[in-house]
């Protein structure tokens, strides 16, 4: 213990590379976490007093950038739908609708006033038959548009936004973390390397000019520069260049084929797949058609049976919520019965192979925007945060050196 007290200043000096390596690592790790978490705002008076991860906070804008990259450079939606067997699609859903529509009618009828329910129930088979006929006609219309004018029944933009924002923002976070996984590990590790080098410089400075104020200043520099350097080395240079005795290329660009494979696999699995396409094109549209047709027929039956306007208004008001629930339930039942068709569509569209084959050959600037868009607008926040955290650690070391130098 006596040796430690006598050599406390020397120990502090020798620990400078370790301290600044820690600063570099800590600031980079915190910056990365702040990019993605928390998913929802934590604090008071949003968005000022508190924080929400940059990617979740800008989810809609980032998803739109992904949509633009895909639709302008990588895919043509019409090409995918040309491969879908539309006639087979229509025929496969007719028996499913015939099976489930009667049960859906019973749920809608629950909102009919008790004294009128028996009158409507007499014409139940008629209402069911009409709902089936309307839904089958709608099926034919939808599948026809898939071949002739897919834009009338399918919005690529809406589908992507629905699956990467809102309650599913975590998928967008997962997407960016997956394609940038190695770059983010490099950012964390580079903080240690760069920070340690700065620590060696600080050792020399302290031997020559042992002023305590240099420590927090150096902390600011380390926190700022390590974050900045890490970001630069991920994206620059786009093409491999020789620097004296070694060659170097921006990490993200060097991994273009690997990133393209990961992105195409995740996008095909979670976004542009048979389930989501059918949900956008068919499940919700057909379900709405069925429920609205049944609702209109029930209203007509009530009027035919002499129900007054107050009773009809009471039914429509009571059925408003139940219609939404029935629409959602029928859509879910269609989805549950569609596993075979969804697999067929996945095979037909072959999304993963199509995106990968085009993405791996994108020019550098267009490929870079895929990952850099996640944090480019707010890079300054990450860099400044590194400087602030570096200053705090540097202050801690300053107080240590002052205390033991004075002793």
Distance of CA 379 to the CA centre of its chain: 19
């060696």: which residue's tokens?
200
Provide the residue range defining the domain that includes 268: 2-406
Q: Answer whether 0.85 is exceeded by the pTM.
A: no
Three-state secondary-structure class, residue 315 = helix
Spatial contact of 296 and 130, defined as CB atoms under 8 Å apart: no
Distance CA 54, CA 32 (A): 10
In whole angstroms, give the CA distance from residue 367 to residue 74. Answer: 11
Cα 98 → chain centroid = 37
CB atoms within 10 A of CB 26: 21
Contacts of 269 (CB under 8 A, 6+ apart): none
Q: Which of 21, 22, 11 is nearest to 197 (CA)?
A: 21
Structure confidence at residue 329 (pLDDT)? 85
Pairing of strands 49-51, 241-243: unpaired
- CA torsion through residues 18, 19, 23, 26, sign: positive
Q: How many CA atoms lie within 13 Å of 329's alpha carbon, on the beta-carbon side?
A: 15
CA atoms within 13 A on the CB side of 198: 29
Give CA–CA dist 185/254, Å, rounded: 15
Please say whether the beta carbons of 131 and 290 come within 8 A. yes
Split into its structural domains, the chain has a count of 1
The SS3 call for residue 49 is strand
Strand partners, 243: 246
The per-residue DSSP string of 118-186 comes to: HHHHTTHHHHHHHHHHHHHHHHHHHHHHHHH-GGGT--HHHHHHHHHSGGGHHHHHHHHHHHTHHHHHH
Please report the pLDDT score of residue 169 as a whole number.
92
CA max distance for the chain: 103
Helices (H), 337-407: 339-349, 351-359, 364-372, 379-406
Tokens of 121: 């129930």
Beta pairing class for 49-51 and 42-44: antiparallel
R_g (Cα) of the chain, nearest Å = 31
What are the pLDDT tens digits along the chain (407 aa)? Answer: 555 555 666 776 777 788 778 877 877 788 778 888 888 888 887 767 888 888 888 888 888 888 888 888 888 877 777 777 777 777 888 888 888 888 887 777 777 766 666 766 667 788 888 888 888 888 888 877 777 777 778 888 888 898 899 899 999 889 888 888 888 888 788 878 877 887 788 788 878 887 878 878 877 887 787 777 777 887 888 888 887 777 888 888 888 899 889 989 998 889 888 888 888 888 888 888 888 888 888 778 777 777 677 777 777 777 777 788 888 888 888 888 777 778 878 887 888 888 898 888 888 888 888 777 766 666 777 677 778 777 877 787 778 777 766 55
What's the N-to-C CA distance of the chain in angstroms? 15
* 242 vs 263: CA distance, rounded Å: 29
* CA 54 – CA 56 distance, rounded (Å): 6
Cβ-count burial of 61 within 10 angstroms (0-12 exposed, 13-18 middle, 19+ buried)?
exposed
Structure tokens at 117: 């329910």
Q: Is the peptide bond before 322 cis (omega within 30 degrees of 0)?
A: no
């Amino acid at each position: 213990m006596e040796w430690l007290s006598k050599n406390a200043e020397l120990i502090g000096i020798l620990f400078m590379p370790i301290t600044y390596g820690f600063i570099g690592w800590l600031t980079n790790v915190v910056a990365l976490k702040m990019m993605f978490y928390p998913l929802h705002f934590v604090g008071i008076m949003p968005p000022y007093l508190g924080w929400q991860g940059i990617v979740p906070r800008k989810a809609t804008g980032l998803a739109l950038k992904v949509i633009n990259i895909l639709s302008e450079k990588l895919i043509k939606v019409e090409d995918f739908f040309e491969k879908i067997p539309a006639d087979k699609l229509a025929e496969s859903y007719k028996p499913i609708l015939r099976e489930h529509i009667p049960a859906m009618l019973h749920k809608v009828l629950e909102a009919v006033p008790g004294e009128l329910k028996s009158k409507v129930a007499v014409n139940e088979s008629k209402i069911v038959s009409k709902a089936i006929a309307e839904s089958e006609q709608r099926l034919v219309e939808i599948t026809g548009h898939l071949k002739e004018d897919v834009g009338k029944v399918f919005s690529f933009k809406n589908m992507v936004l629905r699956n990467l924002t809102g309650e599913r923002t975590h998928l967008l976070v997962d997407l960016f973390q997956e394609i940038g996984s190695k770059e983010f590990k490099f950012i964390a590790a580079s903080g240690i390397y760069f920070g340690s080098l700065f620590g060696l410089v600080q050792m020399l400075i302290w031997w020559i000019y042992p002023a305590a104020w240099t420590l927090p200043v150096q902390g600011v520099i380390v926190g700022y520069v390590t974050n900045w350097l890490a970001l630069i080395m991920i994206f620059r240079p786009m093409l491999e260049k020789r620097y004296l005795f070694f060659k170097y290329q921006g990490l993200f660009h060097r991994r273009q084929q690997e990133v393209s494979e990961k992105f195409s696999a995740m996008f095909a699995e979670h976004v542009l797949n048979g389930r989501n396409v059918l949900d956008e094109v068919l499940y919700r549209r057909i379900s709405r058609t069925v429920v609205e047709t049944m609702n209109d027929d029930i209203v007509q039956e009530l009027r035919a049976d002499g129900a007054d306007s107050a009773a009809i208004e009471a039914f429509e008001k009571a059925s408003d919520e139940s219609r939404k629930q029935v629409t959602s339930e029928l859509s879910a039942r269609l989805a549950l019965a569609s596993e075979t068709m969804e697999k067929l569509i996945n095979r037909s569209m072959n999304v993963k192979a199509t995106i990968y084959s085009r993405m791996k050959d994108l020019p550098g600037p267009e490929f870079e925007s895929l990952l850099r868009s996640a944090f480019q607008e707010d890079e300054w926040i990450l860099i400044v945060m590194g400087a602030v955290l570096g200053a705090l650690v540097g202050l801690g070391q300053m107080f240590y050196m002052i205390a033991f130098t004075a002793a």
